[in-house]
Amino acid sequence: MACAIHCARHFGKGSVILVEKQSRPGRKLLAAGNGRCNISNEDLSLSHYHGEAALYTSVLERFPLEKALDFFQSLGLVLRADEAGRLYPYSNRGSSVFGRLQAELERLQVELLLDHPVSAIQKQKNGFRLISETDTILAQYVVLCCGSKACPSLGADDSVLTLLKPFSIRYSPFFPSLSPIMTLEKHKMLKGVRAAGKVWVTADGKALPAKEGEIQFTETGLSGICVFEISRLVHEYLTFGTVRGKEIHSLKVTADVVPDMSFQQLNEYLKSCRKLFCYEPADRLFSGLLPEKLSEYIAAGCKVQQRSCGELGDGTIKKMASQAKTMSFTPIPFEAFSQAQVCAGGLGSDEVDPRTLMLRKIPGLFACGELLNVDGDCGGYNLHFAFGSASIPVKFMK
Ligand SMILES: Cc1cc2nc3c(=O)[nH]c(=O)nc-3n(C[C@H](O)[C@H](O)[C@H](O)COP(=O)(O)OP(=O)(O)OC[C@H]3O[C@@H](n4cnc5c(N)ncnc54)[C@H](O)[C@@H]3O)c2cc1C
């Protein structure tokens, strides 16, 4: 929608056709941020992006925050930031973003062809033929903004890759990112428990940087924004057996549910609780610190439920402290595309020129958004990249 707007503003009213396979465009936009649409972020440091640095660096350089704000302002859309710098429409509703994009498409007389899955693209002498079941569209330029296969319930798939087959275009296979993690350890008693903590991946014994936030325990594993942010590493390992491109033989996910205390501080605190809660059951040892269920879970893991706090020896207290600081989980494969917010993988800079976003082998054909091999952290980074990349192709159309 944004790309069609940029093109129609440049080429004039009635010059652009938006071809959409579903009965409406923008379904992910409307679902984003639980309907609130976290559209960008005040901190757009490159460290929030993954995949092909050449692509995201080029897009972010040319579409910094000010450019995004200008674009949204040109639609009449007002944004505001939350305390963490995440930008949302002032209305807190994705439907406002959708509505302003739709109004601008109407003003610019962009033709919307809905329920039109494009099944083939043919290169012509002076442009392209886009073939769908019902008709053929002729176009001088084509921009592929087909997304990825994350969240098929919103109509997503990777059918666009089939369109590119005749051109022998290479790409990195999509794999899920920003998703929950399913673990071998099933901790039914923790279902629904939330705790502020830290999570990290340990690959072949090496701990990778941790993410902090609310950890949500589910019946099948772990969820929450910080878990989403390490899920990319987990899915890369589960899909290809690599982490950041390097072959890995074992991978664990570890959670620290008392991140504000060192192991030593926690150990001393628990010893003081041993005295204070002397006649209470041992599964209450963490009850002044953690949700009740988590306190019981740690006690069960250390097999001390039958004892009272006063009966716990120094060694057992140490073990319990260690359990809370390093809860260890083994991730297992599942149908994660269905629960992922985005995909890693896609078209890379070997095929797409980062400056123009034009396919190197097919002049006049461009790609943007999640179809490119770029994915961002939670916090508005993926929509910012989608909007940013959408602004580039028109600059290279005559
Ligand atoms: C549940 C959920 C929540 C999210 N929340 C956020 C958030 O808060 N902030 C954030 O930054 N990001 C969020 N994201 C990610 C963000 O929505 C996507 O990264 C972004 O929408 C990608 O934009 P896109 O235009 O590349 O692809 P999409 O938005 O997926 O659009 C692609 C369009 O192309 C159409 N299409 C595909 N193939 C064809 C074909 N062959 N013919 C015709 N049409 C086709 C599709 O039907 C679709 O309408 C969320 C994603 C999900 C699933």
Express each pLDDT in 10-41 by its tens digit.
Answer: 999 999 999 999 999 999 999 999 999 999 99
Distant-in-sequence, close-in-space partners of 357: CB < 8 Å, separation ≥ 6: 59, 366, 367, 368, 372, 389, 392, 393, 396
**pLDDT value of residue 41:** 98
For residue 28 and ligand 1, the question of a CB distance below 6 A is answered with yes
For residue 296 and ligand 1, the question of a CB distance below 6 A is answered with no
The model's pTM is 0.96
Q: Domain with 255 in it: what CATH number?
A: 1.10.8.260
**pLDDT value of residue 109:** 98
94 lies in the same domain as 31: yes
Q: Domain with 347 in it: what CATH number?
A: 3.50.50.60
Ligand 1, residue 151: give the atom nearest the CA: 53
Ligand 1, residue 376: give the atom nearest the CA: 11
Cα of 42 from ligand 1 centre, angstroms? 21
299 lies in the same domain as 358: no
48 lies in the same domain as 130: yes
303 lies in the same domain as 349: no
Altogether, the residues listed in the chain come to a count of: 398
- Euclidean distance between CA atoms 253 and 180, whole angstroms: 12
User: Can you tell me which residue has the tokens 């879970």?
Assistant: 297
- Euclidean distance between CA atoms 164 and 162, whole angstroms: 5
Ligand 1, residue 119: give the atom nearest the CA: 41
What angle in degrees, to the nearest 10, is found between the helix axes of 314-325 and 263-276? 130
List Cα–Cα distances, 192 to 286, 293, 341, in angstroms: 18, 10, 21
Cα of 66 from ligand 1 centre, angstroms? 23
For residue 22 and ligand 1, the question of a CB distance below 6 A is answered with yes
For residue 344 and ligand 1, the question of a CB distance below 6 A is answered with no
329 lies in the same domain as 372: no
| Pick from 368, 343, 344: nearest CA to 354 | 368
**pLDDT value of residue 133:** 87
100 lies in the same domain as 10: yes
122: alpha, beta or left? (left if phi > 0; alpha if psi -120 to 50): beta
For residue 20 and ligand 1, the question of a CB distance below 6 A is answered with yes
For residue 117 and ligand 1, the question of a CB distance below 6 A is answered with yes
Cα of 29 from ligand 1 centre, angstroms? 6
From 36, 341, 357, give the residue whose CB has the most ligand 1 atoms within 8 Å, as the site to mutate.
341
- Euclidean distance between CA atoms 354 and 51, whole angstroms: 13
Cα of 138 from ligand 1 centre, angstroms? 25
Cα of 16 from ligand 1 centre, angstroms? 20
Ligand 1, residue 132: give the atom nearest the CA: 42
352 lies in the same domain as 272: no
**pLDDT value of residue 186:** 82
60 lies in the same domain as 106: yes
Side by side, which strands form the sheet with 118-124?
118-124, 127-132, 136-139
> 390 near 147, Cβ under 8 Å?
no
Q: How far is CA 31 from the centre of its chain?
A: 13
What torsion, rounded to 10 degrees, do the Cα atoms 101, 103, 108, 111 define? 80
- Decide the pairing of beta strands 206-207 and 211-217: unpaired
From 24, 28, 59, 229, give the residue whose CB has the most ligand 1 atoms within 8 Å, as the site to mutate.
28
For residue 1 and ligand 1, the question of a CB distance below 6 A is answered with no
27 lies in the same domain as 160: yes
17 lies in the same domain as 143: yes
* Number of domain units in the chain: 2
For residue 346 and ligand 1, the question of a CB distance below 6 A is answered with no
- Euclidean distance between CA atoms 143 and 160, whole angstroms: 12
89 lies in the same domain as 205: no
331 lies in the same domain as 345: no
Cα of 12 from ligand 1 centre, angstroms? 26
What beta strand segments (E) does 78-135 contain? Answer: 79-81, 86-89, 111-113, 118-124, 127-132
Exposure b/e, 278-293, CB count within 10 A at least 16 = b? eeebbbbbbbebbbeb
For residue 31 and ligand 1, the question of a CB distance below 6 A is answered with yes
In this structure, the residue with its CA closest to atom 4 of ligand 1 is 32
Positions of the chain with pLDDT under 70: none
Q: Which domain holds residue 325?
A: 179-337
| Domain limit, last residue, from 287, 321, 337 | 337
Express each pLDDT in 338-370 by its tens digit.
Answer: 999 999 999 999 999 999 999 999 999 999 999
- Euclidean distance between CA atoms 308 and 304, whole angstroms: 8
